[in-house]
Amino acid sequence: MSISEAFINSILELDERRAIELARVRISEGEDPLKILEELKTAAEKIGEKYERGEFFIADLVMAGEIMKEISELVRPRLRELGKTRELIGRLVIGTVEGDIHDIGKNIVVTMAEAAGFEVIDLGVDVPPWKFVEAIKQYKPDIVGMSCLITIGIESMKKTVDAIKEAGLRDKVRIIIGGGRVDEYAKEYSGADAWTNDAATGVKKMMEWMREKR
Amino acid sequence: MIEKEKTPEELLSERRDRFEKALKGLRPDRVPFLPLFHYFPAKYVGLSYAEYSLDYQKFSGAVLRVYQDFDFDAVGLALPGAAMTLPLNIIFTKTHPDLAVNIFTIARAFHDILMDKYTKWPGRELSPNAPAQFLGGRFMDVEEYDELARDPISFIAMKIIPRAYGALKEPASPEAYGALIKFGSESSKFASAFMDLMINLRKLGYPIYPIGLGYAPLDFIADYLRHVTHTLTDLYRYPSRVKAALDSLTPLISEWSRITISLPPEALASFDVKTPLVFIPLHLNEMLSPKLFKEFYWEPLKKVVVDLINSRAIPWIFFEGDYTPFLETLLELPKGSVVAYFERTDLRKVRRVLGDHVIVMGGLPPSLYILGAPEKVYEETCRLLNEVKEPGGFIFSGSGVSGVPDEARPENLRAAINALNKCGVYQ
Ligand code: B12
């Protein structure tokens, strides 16, 4: 088994100690940090697939997310030292909508989108519509993601999309919504472009949008 | 609409029979409707959420109006706010069992007095029409699992409570003593308002039954001690510490839960339905892999549930999220011993896997009540009932999410009730 395979496998096995150990060794041996990040992306894709197949559960995604976060924190300073930057495939502004504080699902999306090569601006939880609008103005994202786990959030999503329209920014961004209380009704009502109950599918959709854009 | 020709007494006995039969797994005249509410009553009568969670008279008035204007079969849960903060109850299990059950923290006044860090409330930290938020938090370090395992009551009393309740941060201070005295007097105000509400609901013709509370031990750790996310990662990083803590928390939670339903015979006599129902909302159930689920979640929970069954109560378990992967676990419990209330699990699937092994409870997706048209609600309710009401032992909850969604359109709730009267009838 190559070191790359061993590295990816250790993440898929949620073997935190081994994954971090391997990342350390590779960095200290002067391996290209961009390669490590590429492999994180592969790992994230495989994790998403495992989740879709019912082999992985949410706790597994949370743990995998922790491991990937720790590894990218190890790699980032090295990248900076070398004056390199990772090529980003797009920019995502994401938040849990007003009135809602659930963030486990949103955090999984953040890690998976980052691993896939998105720059992610995470606005946190209970995010009012105006904050989404401000963030769109400031960061000019390609995509806006909203997470919603309680029913009051359905109205908040609509208000947010309306505020984005009012600010004249609706045609600048694609909007995807996710979370336990999201379905076709919620998508239609809020005026978002896509919905999902699964982070991996959501990230795939976002990557598809980025390909269309190019 | 309530059938006007029947007296409240007649309605009460009709509804009691219906509800009792369903609880026994039988086929009553039709499927009973047992609704749970957060803020729907506030919205329905035009109260702000802040008033609803602060003023017990207004809260009770709103709930009564809803039970007057709509036709249900029994009183589910109607509470003026966020989830209880249980650490305060649990510590009294051994020394003051009466306090372990009689103190509530589900209205804003308790938060104002104790300044707990678990919750935020409308009109205080939040705008007057935002629903109360239970945030939980991390109040315990990994290193402290062992201490928790050694003596959960002392650890929670001495370490967690001062950290989690602002007013009790210095237990021997005037602030803390004052807060506890105020808390005591507020508790009795709340209890008497709540009792009045029950009496008035009964006068409207709704049967009442003893209700208790239970908790999955791992959820207790996640919600009140370590925070959900940290609890999940602890299961991978420190499994033996979590296990040890669960081993000592489980008997405590089981004992506490049984206290919530231990009533003296004369108190029991005043209820219409004599079998206590013990509400157990589950949180982490859908998140764990089968291996973690079995060891860390199901086994401790099963102990609590079985102890309750052996105390002649009916555990009323709310399976939040999608429980499909674990449905078979319910076959480990004696037939007909629990009410299994499902949020997002497909009820048809439930019937296929479990048949009549459990009393099934559930409803439709919340978005349908909020955004759908009444015709659609009627149609979907009928479809659901036709597919799952047989072979009996089915209870309708409105929606899967917390019963009747706050934002449900009243005409949609009415449509669901009409559908129930038509398609919920057993031939
Ligand atoms: C864990 C939990 C909590 C934790 C949250 C911890 C945290 N920091 O997130 C705590 C205990 C703090 C909590 C608090 C409350 N909760 Co809560 N909670 C849950 C529970 C059990 C699980 C939610 C969860 O994390 N699921 C796991 C994640 C990973 O799933 P997910 O969000 O669907 O995410 C996946 C996809 O949807 C997708 N995704 C998610 N977001 C996005 C966004 C984008 C852009 C994309 C592409 C994809 C995507 O990716 C994820 C991975 O695939 C649910 C029940 C349920 N199963 O939904 C109730 C639930 C959501 N809670 C509920 C309630 C009522 C509350 C409280 C109000 C309780 C109270 N009375 O105080 C409070 C406060 C809520 C508020 N105002 O926000 C209700 C909501 C009812 C309603 N009105 O709609 C639920 C449905 C339970 C119920 N009663 O039925 N809760």
pLDDT tens digit sequence for A166-196: 999 999 999 999 998 898 989 999 999 999 9
**Residues of chain A neighbouring B376 (CB-CB closer than 8 A):** none
Residue B232 Cβ < 6 Å to ligand 1: no
| Whether the Cβ atoms of residue B416 and residue B70 lie closer than 8 Å to each other | no
Lowest-pLDDT range, A82-86, A156-160, A199-203, B349-353?
A: A82-86
Two tokens at B235?
């299961």
Please give the pLDDT value at position B81. Answer: 83
Please give the pLDDT value at position A76. Answer: 87
Question: How many Å apart are CA B246 and CA B300, to the nearest integer?
Answer: 7
Please give the pLDDT value at position B4. Answer: 59
Choose, out of A11, A16, A57, the residue to mutate when testing the contact with B (most B CBs < 10 Å).
Answer: A57
Tell me the C-alpha to C-alpha distance, in Å, between residue B258 and each of B238, B335, B372. 30, 21, 41
Residue B223 Cβ < 6 Å to ligand 1: yes
pLDDT tens digit sequence for B91-134: 999 999 988 887 778 889 999 999 999 999 999 999 999 999 99
Section A120-149 average pLDDT: 97
Across the interface, of A16, A54, A183, the residue whose CB is closest to B236 is: A16
CATH 3.20.20.210 is the classification of domain B8-108+188-423: yes
Tell me the C-alpha to C-alpha distance, in Å, between residue B273 and each of A28, B209, B211. 70, 5, 10
The mean pLDDT value of chain A amounts to 93
Q: Where on the phi/psi map is residue B281: left (φ > 0), alpha (ψ -120 to 50), or beta?
A: beta
Dihedral angle of Cα A77, A81, A84, A85, to the nearest 10 degrees:
30
CA B192 to chain A, closest CA, distance in angstroms equals 31
Across the interface, of A16, A154, A180, the residue whose CB is closest to B370 is: A154
Choose, out of A61, A130, A152, A177, the residue to mutate when testing the contact with B (most B CBs < 10 Å).
Answer: A152
Q: Is A127 on the interface with B (CB under 8 A)?
A: no
Q: Is A45 on the interface with B (CB under 8 A)?
A: no
What's the complex ipTM? 0.90
Section B361-383 average pLDDT: 95
Q: Is A195 on the interface with B (CB under 8 A)?
A: no
CA B371 to chain A, closest CA, distance in angstroms equals 7
Q: Is B331 on the interface with A (CB under 8 A)?
A: no
Section B7-14 average pLDDT: 95
Lowest-pLDDT range, A52-61, B29-38, B63-72, B263-272?
A: B263-272
**Of B295, B150, B141, B158, the residue nearest B226 (C-alpha):** B141
Contact A99 B130 (CB under 8 A): yes
**Of B110, B66, B67, B120, the residue nearest B88 (C-alpha):** B110
Please give the pLDDT value at position A134. Answer: 97
**Residues of chain A neighbouring B407 (CB-CB closer than 8 A):** 151-152, 154-155
Contact B370 A151 (CB under 8 A): yes
Contact B325 A54 (CB under 8 A): yes
Contact B407 A186 (CB under 8 A): no
Question: How many Å apart are CA A204 and CA B21, to the nearest integer?
Answer: 49
Two tokens at A18?
């081994």
Which amino acid belongs to residue B225?
Answer: L
Q: Is B370 on the interface with A (CB under 8 A)?
A: yes
Contact A151 B367 (CB under 8 A): yes
Contact B292 A56 (CB under 8 A): no
pLDDT tens digit sequence for B202-216: 999 999 999 999 999
Find the B223 Cα to ligand 1 centroid distance in Å. 13
pLDDT tens digit sequence for B133-175: 999 999 999 999 999 999 999 999 999 999 999 999 999 999 9
Section B360-374 average pLDDT: 93
Quick check: B82 pLDDT over 80? no
Contact A185 B368 (CB under 8 A): yes
Question: How many Å apart are CA B277 and CA A27, to the nearest integer?
Answer: 58
- Expressed in angstroms, the distance from the first to the final Cα of chain A is 36
Across the interface, of B290, B292, B401, the residue whose CB is closest to A151 is: B401
Contact B232 A59 (CB under 8 A): yes
pLDDT tens digit sequence for B308-344: 999 999 999 999 989 999 999 999 999 999 999 999 9
Residue B391 pLDDT grade (very low, low, confident, very high; cuts 50, 70, 90): very high
Nearest CA in chain B to A65: B233
Section A67-86 average pLDDT: 88
Please give the pLDDT value at position A214. Answer: 81
Interface of B with A in 150-189 (CB under 8 A): none
Please give the pLDDT value at position B79. Answer: 87
| Whether the Cβ atoms of residue B106 and residue B83 lie closer than 8 Å to each other | yes
Quick check: B407 pLDDT over 80? yes
**Residues of chain A neighbouring B119 (CB-CB closer than 8 A):** none
Contact A154 B135 (CB under 8 A): no
How many A/B residue pairs have CB atoms within 8 Å? 78
Backbone angles phi, psi at B191, to 5 degrees: -60, -40
pLDDT tens digit sequence for A88-100: 999 999 999 999 9
Would you kindly state where each structural domain of chain B is located, as residue ranges? Answer: 8-108+188-423
Find the A179 Cα to ligand 1 centroid distance in Å. 8
Nearest CA in chain B to A66: B233
Fold that domain A3-82 belongs to in CATH: 1.10.1240
Would you kindly state where each structural domain of chain A is located, as residue ranges? Answer: 3-82, 90-213
Residue B232 pLDDT grade (very low, low, confident, very high; cuts 50, 70, 90): very high
| Whether the Cβ atoms of residue B420 and residue B33 lie closer than 8 Å to each other | yes
Structurally, at CATH architecture level, domain A90-213 sits in 3-Layer(aba) Sandwich (3.40)
Please give the pLDDT value at position B102. Answer: 75
**Residues of chain B neighbouring A107 (CB-CB closer than 8 A):** 229
Lowest-pLDDT range, B255-259, B294-298, B396-400?
A: B396-400
